Amino acid sequence: MMSKFDKNREILCNYSGLELSDAQNLLKTLRQLRQVVMEEGEQTFQEWRSHIERAAFVSSSLNLAYYLALRRHDLRQVQAALMPWGLSSLGRIEGRVLPNLNAVISTLGIICQADPDSFPSRPLIEEFFEGDRLLELHTDELFGSSRNQRRVRIMVTLPTQAASNYELVRNLLQRGCDCVRINCAHDSATEWSAMIANVRIAARETGFPCKVLMDLGGPKPRIGMAIAPQSPQRIYRGDCILLTSNLPTTISSDYFQANCSLPEVLDQLKVGANVWIDDGSLGAQVESLTPDGVLLRITHAKLKGNKIPHQKGLNFPDTDLLLSPLTEKDLQDLDFVAVHADMVGYSFVQQAADIELLQWELQRRQPNHPPAIVAKIETPQAVRNLPELIVQAAGKQPLGIMIARGDLAIEIGYQRLAEIQEEILWLCEAAHIPVIWATQVLENLVKKGIPSRAEITDAAMAERAECVMLNKGPFIAEAVTILDDVLSRMQAHQQKKTPQLRSLTSW
């Protein structure tokens, strides 16, 4: 039996682009669309309601539910039909789903001379832009108030030298750094304490506030030690690696050997599954499962071969790994993080239960004022579960979403990265949640002192997020200056998905 929602969807599909050129048909379609969005959205919201404790997130979660209901439909014909009437084509509806629909229907109703009681009233200006206000509120809540006119914040990953070099930290803040990231996979509590102390002192001295994000390492599989079969010190396409749970002890004459830092991964692999090594620079496929370990055949490598991958990361895009989201080291690090950090970065989070676990651990350590959560989206499972991750986290405390483009690109495929990145941005804007644009931003500039043309364009596109993260490198201070300039220029032209029609001065 056809459900009411399925029937509504069927009605929406019955109009061709030609029929929608008639204003009456277009009005009828939009009213039906609004009804579907309201019914399905409110049903989804009720399913989420028990997870939402923060009053500040109630209206945002309802808007997110409306947005998910809206985007289940292909609205391209509706958009094309709205354009000749000079009406919003719904292309920037993320932060204000119902007010935008109401505004379009109200205006179209007047054009059609329909009964005013048959369509929603036009929203007030304050109501229409409430989503923008909430996104700004949640962004300030996470990163602190913006210190200048630049909307997008700059985050810098601190190197170990930041523990002993106060001038480095102060220079970063003076050049435009708004928040810093400490990677818990490196250094120890001694260095972390010194870094944070330098940040706090520099913030007081310069008058520029600076938040601290501490990033948990998470269950990242890595190659620990790798050895070559005999003399070759490079690995080529067609070679094999035996991936084991223990350190390799003998040199085989047939193939390379390496151990996996998370041995439980090996039991979850199947023949034919793809494996990527060292941020995707080496590709392999599971050829066989043996008593000694998993035999991988190299399918992608440089023409001149790759170096033996000691201490390099592993990705398994075809395998839904069942791993604890918090490792023993993460739990130890949380003792420090919960007390000293403003935000905790959650690596390889996959489902709402993972968020709930971290919230419980933070509550145990810091019941009165736990740090905000930054959920790093880096797997297909995290993308699929993003609405539930947002509701579980933001329903209890401030939240940011980091698009961790390094692992994400490998896990979903490079060709899908731009598409998924956009969809994550849209979904987060619908929930009024700030986004961090991360991985390889101005990488050549940071590492070598000269940017590539493509990475400048990438930095400019980061205007769509609320924060941009730079990794560490010898030219990090110069990179902050250039990124500050790029973002300041771009905000006159673009805000989220909306082009800004500033007067052009080049002609």
- Domain count within the chain: 3
Q: Residue 15: pLDDT above 80?
A: no
Q: What is the structure's pLDDT at 252?
A: 72
Among residues 434, 345, 360, 348, the alpha carbon closest in space to that of 396 is found at 360
Domain final residue pick, 284, 315, 346: 315
Beta strands in 134-291 (DSSP E): 153-157, 179-183, 211-215, 223-227, 234-235, 240-244, 256-260, 274-277, 282-290
> Is 250 inside any structural domain?
yes
Tell me the mean pLDDT in the region 356-380. 96
Are both 205 and 281 inside the same structural domain?
Answer: no
Are both 358 and 471 inside the same structural domain?
Answer: yes
User: Terminal CA-to-CA distance of the chain, rounded, Å?
Assistant: 62
Q: What is the structure's pLDDT at 284?
A: 96
> Is 347 inside any structural domain?
yes
Considering only 168-177, 230-239, 338-347, 493-502, which range has the smallest mean pLDDT? 230-239
Express as a percent the part of the chain with pLDDT over 70: 96
> Is 502 inside any structural domain?
no
Report the CATH number at residue 143.
3.20.20.60
> Is 58 inside any structural domain?
yes
Are both 197 and 277 inside the same structural domain?
Answer: no
Q: Residue 437: pLDDT above 80?
A: yes
Are both 309 and 356 inside the same structural domain?
Answer: no
> Is 39 inside any structural domain?
yes
Express as a percent the part of the chain with pLDDT over 90: 83
Domain final residue pick, 111, 128, 145: 128
Which 8-state DSSP code applies to residue 56?
G
pLDDT digits (tens, 9 = 90+) for 450-499: 999 999 999 999 999 999 999 999 999 999 999 999 999 999 999 999 88
Question: What is d(CA 227, CA 232) in angstroms, rounded to the nearest whole number?
Answer: 10
Is 249 or 327 the better-scoring residue by pLDDT?
327
pLDDT bracket for residue 44 (50, 70, 90): very high
Are both 364 and 251 inside the same structural domain?
Answer: no
pLDDT bracket for residue 8 (50, 70, 90): low
Q: Residue 254: pLDDT above 90?
A: no
Are both 380 and 478 inside the same structural domain?
Answer: yes
Contacts of 157 (CB under 8 A, 6+ apart): 180, 181, 182, 183, 469, 470, 471, 472
Contacts of 304 (CB under 8 A, 6+ apart): 234
Single pTM value for the model: 0.93
Which 8-state DSSP code applies to residue 348?
T
pLDDT bracket for residue 152 (50, 70, 90): very high
Are both 384 and 411 inside the same structural domain?
Answer: yes
What does the angle CA 33 – CA 98 – CA 48 come to, to the nearest 5 degrees? Answer: 95
Are both 339 and 309 inside the same structural domain?
Answer: no
Tell me the mean pLDDT in the region 90-117. 94
Question: What tokens appear for 427 in the block?
Answer: 């979904």
Are both 196 and 308 inside the same structural domain?
Answer: no
Are both 212 and 227 inside the same structural domain?
Answer: no
H or E segment and range at residue 328: helix 328-340
Among residues 370, 341, 336, 340, the alpha carbon closest in space to that of 355 is found at 370
Q: What is the structure's pLDDT at 1?
A: 44
Are both 456 and 345 inside the same structural domain?
Answer: yes
Residue span of the structural domain in which 234 resides: 223-315
pLDDT bracket for residue 19 (50, 70, 90): confident
Considering only 137-141, 304-308, 356-360, which range has the smallest mean pLDDT? 304-308
Are both 419 and 486 inside the same structural domain?
Answer: yes
Q: Residue 5: pLDDT above 70?
A: no
Strand partners, 46: none
> Is 506 inside any structural domain?
no
Tell me the mean pLDDT in the region 32-41. 96
Question: What tokens appear for 135 in the block?
Answer: 């996104």
Average pLDDT, the chain: 93
3-state secondary structure of 237: coil
pLDDT digits (tens, 9 = 90+) for 168-190: 999 999 999 999 999 999 999 99
Report the CATH number at residue 233.
2.40.33.10
> Is 486 inside any structural domain?
yes
Highest mean pLDDT (candidates 10-14, 367-371, 430-434): 430-434
Domain final residue pick, 75, 107, 128: 128
> Is 501 inside any structural domain?
no
Tell me the mean pLDDT in the region 222-243. 87
